[in-house]
Amino acid sequence: MNRSVIVTCAVTGSGDSTGRSPEVPVTPAEVAASALSAAAAGAAIVHCHVRDLETGKGARTVALYEEVVERIRAENTEVIVNLTAGMGGDLNVGPDDDPMNWQAGTDLVGGLERLAHVEAIRPDICSMDCGSLNFGDDNEVYVSTPAMLRIMADKVRELGVRPELEIFDTGNLWFAETLIAEGLVDAPYWLQLCLSIPYGTPMDVGILQAMVHRLPPEAEFTSFGLGAMQMPMVAQSVMLGGHVRVGLEDNLYLERGVLATNAQLVERAVRIVELMGAAVQSPAEARKTLGLS
């Protein structure tokens, strides 16, 4: 069991959730305000995406990221800022008789272009999705190839940013181990074990435990589940020696029928951690744990 826990809040994500809850932040001002509220509630790390101001869909516009970070830093210089570097990997394959006819929603760019905002801002952490994934039941694929990831890992290391290695299945973990073995990621390693996203790792404690047992030395990990499994995964992750992630990217509800805010989800996670007899790390403590300046 982990007795000293880092809480991450995934503030908004890029999924089609804005129409399902008015609490999902869209504008940079809303994302920053929600992140700051989460930090005040006990989150040491705020994981941020940005959204198109007109459509509310996920975006990778550098200026939007810059505004979010500037607004956060104007109020709080201690909280650890984690920006996604996963945007730009969406491929919507065409119909069966014309699969090369990419469909609406395709946004596929190379590894360096996915890091444009990271290079401009140099946040504390950026996330890197460590493999490709069939996403949902139709023709959408998230593309993150070994060549792209090596380019990204090398660049992130050059920029002095800590990568958060996003693990969606055991193959992703294998490749994360490869990046570490090749010297493209510096210790301490920060890995996110992502459960219940179709079709990655299912919500299965046995599989999670097996993945934890494969983690390399000097690794810190956090994990999460979607929807109603968000809070059970808080306890499970801590029991297996890890940290926790909650937030509106992964779950919109505090309980059945009750929409949540990011601050409320963090407060609930902190309470669970403390009831288990563990302590929640401050941003300063989390910086030491993760080797951040």
- Each residue's pLDDT tens digit, 117-168: 999 999 999 999 999 999 888 999 999 999 999 999 999 999 999 999 999 9
d(CA 13, CA 24): 9
Alpha helices in the chain (DSSP H): 28-41, 62-75, 111-114, 116-121, 146-159, 170-181, 205-214, 230-239, 262-275, 283-290
Give the tokens for residue 105: 């929603």
- Residues of the chain with pLDDT > 70, as a percent, come to 100
Q: Work out the number of other CB atoms within 10 angstroms of the CB of residue 203.
A: 17
Nearest-CA neighbor of 214 among 240, 251, 186?
240
Give the largest Cα separation in the chain, rounded.
57
Looking at every residue in the chain, the average pLDDT score rounds to 96
Q: Work out the number of other CB atoms within 10 angstroms of the CB of residue 256.
A: 6
Mean pLDDT across 237-255: 97
104: confidence class by pLDDT, cuts 50, 70, 90: very high
Burial of 10: CB neighbours in 10 Å, binned 0-12, 13-18, 19+: buried
Nearest-CA neighbor of 171 among 199, 138, 203, 151?
199
What pLDDT, on the 0 to 100 scale, is given for residue 136?
Answer: 85
Is pLDDT above 90 for 177?
yes
Mean pLDDT across 221-234: 96
The two beta strands, 219-224 and 189-194, are parallel
Nearest-CA neighbor of 266 among 14, 34, 19, 3?
34
What pLDDT, on the 0 to 100 scale, is given for residue 183?
Answer: 96
Give the tokens for residue 13: 């994500």
283: confidence class by pLDDT, cuts 50, 70, 90: very high
Q: What is the CA radius of gyration of the chain?
A: 18
Adjacent-strand bridge partners of 246: 9
The two beta strands, 125-129 and 80-84, are parallel
Q: In what order do the strands lie in the sheet with 133-134?
A: 107-108, 89-92, 140-142, 133-134
- Each residue's pLDDT tens digit, 4-59: 999 999 999 998 899 999 999 999 999 999 999 999 999 999 999 999 999 999 99
Predicted TM-score (pTM) of the model is: 0.96
What pLDDT, on the 0 to 100 scale, is given for residue 280?
Answer: 98
Q: Provide the b/e sequence for 162-177 (b: ≥16 CB within 10 Å).
A: bbbbbbbbeebbebbb
Adjacent-strand bridge partners of 253: 259
Which domains, ranges and CATH numbers included, belong to the chain? 4-290 (3.20.20.70)
241: confidence class by pLDDT, cuts 50, 70, 90: very high
What pLDDT, on the 0 to 100 scale, is given for residue 256?
Answer: 93
Contact predicate 65/83, CB 8 Å: yes
Adjacent-strand bridge partners of 222: 192, 243
274: confidence class by pLDDT, cuts 50, 70, 90: very high
d(CA 8, CA 17): 19
Nearest-CA neighbor of 5 among 291, 289, 292?
289
d(CA 244, CA 227): 15
Residue 95 carries which side chain, given as an amino acid letter?
P
The 8-class DSSP code of residue 61 comes to -
